[in-house]
A and B are shown apart, each in its own frame.
Chain A
Amino acid sequence: MDLIITGVGGQGVLTLGTIVGNCFLEMGYDVRVAEVHGLSQRGGSVLVHVRAGEKIFAPTISAGYADLLIALEGIEGARYVNYLKKNGDAIINNEIIPPPLPGISIPSLKNIKDVIKKYKVTYYFVDASSIARKLGNIRVTNVVMLGVALGLKLLPFEREQVVRVLRTYIPKKYLDINIRALDAGIVAGRDIVSR
């Protein structure tokens, strides 16, 4: 399975990549998680490639081949939707973080949806940031999105398995809210399915 995770530096894209990678590892797959560190983390656009399978050779996914896109931010979702293969799936957070450049025009959520619709992919827009804010910490948006992917059955993990991985990767202080974020995401994902 080839998965692209994207968002804005500071949103926890790398952490999400590590969590997903470890879930696949637990299932016995060969895994690669290709990250980019450094300058791009200063509020820039962040792209993580996650690959899992019997045997993985290349570290990255080429545009047009990903099975699933998880975007923690709308503009980045639209920017990298071209990584999806035909009939791939996209889960996109209903959140726009405007690039802080003087004098540029910021696309609306509708503009973003129009871009995504041009592609032959199945897409789901979710209010992950609102859910995270309601839980009390915007920074768990990433784990809400993971929950949504589970709820939609687009990632093959059991809840318990993700919780186990969260225990190793999330500081104790934030574990509880992350588990609640996961559960809220799962519910949101199931809601979409039942609609």
Chain B
Amino acid sequence: MAEILGEKGIVKLLLGNEAVARGAIEAGIDVAAGYPGTPSTEIIEALIPAARELGFYVEWSTNEKVALEVALGAAISGLRGLAVMKHVGLNVAADTFMSIGYTGVRGGLVIVSADDPNCHSSQSEQDNRIYGMHAYIPVIEPYAPQEAKDATVYAFDLSEKYSTAIMLRLTTRISHTRGPVVFGDLRRRRTRGNFIKDPSRWVLLPVFSRKLHVKALERISSIAKEFSNFPLNKIVQMNPSDEGIIASGVAYGYVMDALNMLNLRDKVSVLKLATPYPIPNDLIISFLKRLKRVLIVEELEPVVELQVKDLVVREGISVEIKGKEYVPRVLELNYVKVAKAIAEFLGLQFIPPRVEEENLPPRPPVFCPGCPHRATYYIIKRAVASEKVNAVYLGDIGCYTLGVNPPFRATDTSYCMGSSIGLSMGIFRATDQFPIATIGDSTFFHAGIPALINSIYNRSGILVVVFDNLITAMTGFQPHPGTGVSALGQKARTIAIEDIAKAIGVNFVKVIDPYNINESVKIMREAIAFVLKNKEPAVVVSSRECALRAYRRILKSGKSIKRYFIDENVCTKCLTCINTFACPAIMIKDNKVVINSDLCIGCGVCKQVCPYNAIKEVV
């Protein structure tokens, strides 16, 4: 049974993301759409088995903009829609998001933005609460899994009450922290929606937009009033001293533990906030009026702080507001950082335990044994060396970004999803170097196609290598348009990347199997020569199932994998395997090069890499 299903009253230890999924079904969700991205992914994943039982709709969309539009379509037809993405996904969906701020919705629309303070698995720490402010879309941020569930239900109800979308802003430590969650009632879903035509609401022509802008502002100020009674905003403690703290989202948890640590629970007043935009003016005024100095504790940007300072000035309240003077603006918080900030704010001493960093080898993530991406990089590097081109590698985002590491060092840029192909065209215009765009399959569907079209339209001499492992691997194996299966597990039509490239008009399109080294190097060299000669794009699709998935399938089927060993009588210890291929299963042990059978999955590529044929199959 789905983890998030169960009777009212049951308590389960759920991830924050699962709690949001539970909240969505308690709110009677009709349509949920998302694009995978850490730390948001488990929300859609938890909804999938529940959707099979309850009958609502869930999809993995091609990108976040599409996901948001699918959910929006349901919401403007009077149903409840949920759109799920990681913080940078909202950049992709921003165009739609900003417009929703004007139109509002008719049913319920909750947009989950899972932010990633600390960049645990992202390219930036951007704070999407600012997006809410930018678009006049209210933001709710829970502090723990139980609250994440409750906030989701409240968000849907508020969304309908005020005809506005709501952003549910999570962070890694909410999304990926388990906590006890008490299940509530499941509300009945509506059956079918009905889109009611009204151009003055849904057609953003200037004549309508100007009026909708005014309405959006009115809507936000009524919500600011409503938020003073929002159940997750409250004055948790009021003490006789003149000092207080306002803590938003996850920061509330750190503040309470820090106060406990500093023995200040009965000295400082605390206002807990779950709505960083708009701030609940009345509640905040009543809190500030009883105090002389207030510290605002929030992760990343001073979103609450700026609004509170604005309120203080407008209302003429005499209170000193502090925030980012003491609370770090980068990285995630913890109770020690917050205790330090509070102590400084109060002029107290706090000396945390000294923490030494030990000098140990780092353990960055690496390509798994058998990963086809490793073989593809090996092939590209060989072809580039043979063709003697001065390559610049415009990389993209996915497992294959690990090509930045030695021994390949074949990722010179990585900005955001889909940017490899566009950047390669800029390099082509600007330099005499040889631009190679490396892009994953899911990334290609997500944001690569318009750029590839540009390379034909504005004839650009670039080599595009698609790292096609048939799945969205980095985020945990979600299917995409090339996989042949939908989120709900139904058979879907497979869209072949090579067919798209051909249809666009690319004149050199070849598919290689990266497990076949020599043949692939030959084709890669042809592709380079083609680009040099014709000054137009070539596309090589390097296609081979993700090794983790292939391996799991083999294990499940009960078949055994091929075994390889290094014949020590033949091995010259030239270390070509380790220094140019770097599979974690090949290691030096007792001064011999060996294959660790705990790790090897039998892809057999290293056998082709060894110049002395010392790697042999166990027969």
Contact = CB atoms under 8 A, between A and B. Distances in A.
B387 to A, nearest CB: 25
28 contacts: A30-B179, A30-B180, A31-B13, A32-B179, A33-B178, A35-B15, A35-B176, A35-B178, A36-B120, A37-B39, A37-B121, A40-B121, A42-B366, A44-B364, A57-B253, A59-B253, A60-B173, A63-B353, A64-B355, A75-B361, A76-B363, A82-B355, A100-B587, A101-B361, A101-B362, A104-B361, A106-B361, A115-B360
Given A31-B13, A59-B144, A59-B173, 15 more contacts: A30-B180, A38-B38, A38-B120, A39-B399, A43-B363, A44-B363, A44-B364, A57-B256, A60-B334, A62-B336, A64-B354, A86-B353, A99-B362, A101-B582, A104-B361
B554 interface: no
A64 B335 CA distance: 12
Contacts of A194: none
Contacts of A34: 173, 176-178
B483 interface: no
B474 A39 contact: yes
B372 to A, nearest CB: 14
A192 interface: no
B361 A99 contact: yes
B173 A8 contact: no
A82 B357 contact: yes
A110 B163 CA distance: 65
Is chain B's interface secondary structure helix, strand, loop, or mixed overall?
loop
A21 B179 CA distance: 8
A36 B172 contact: yes
A79 interface: yes
Contacts of A100: 366, 582-584, 587
A75 B335 contact: no
A63 B177 contact: no
Nearest to B121: A38
Interface residues of B, number: 61
A58 interface: yes
A25 B11 contact: yes
Nearest to A50: B178
A11 to B, nearest CB: 11
B253 A58 contact: yes
Contacts of B578: 102
Interface in A54-84: 56-60, 62-65, 75-76, 78-79, 81-82
Contacts of A21: 13, 178
Interface residues of A, number: 51
Given A44-B365, A100-B366, A33 B180 contact: no
A72 to B, nearest CB: 13
B363 A99 contact: yes
B130 interface: no
B407 interface: yes
Contacts of B334: 58, 60, 62
Contacts of A39: 38, 121, 365, 399, 474
A175 B318 CA distance: 64
Given A21-B178, A59-B177, A42 B356 contact: no
A79 B583 CA distance: 24
Contact of B476 (A33, A35, A37): A37
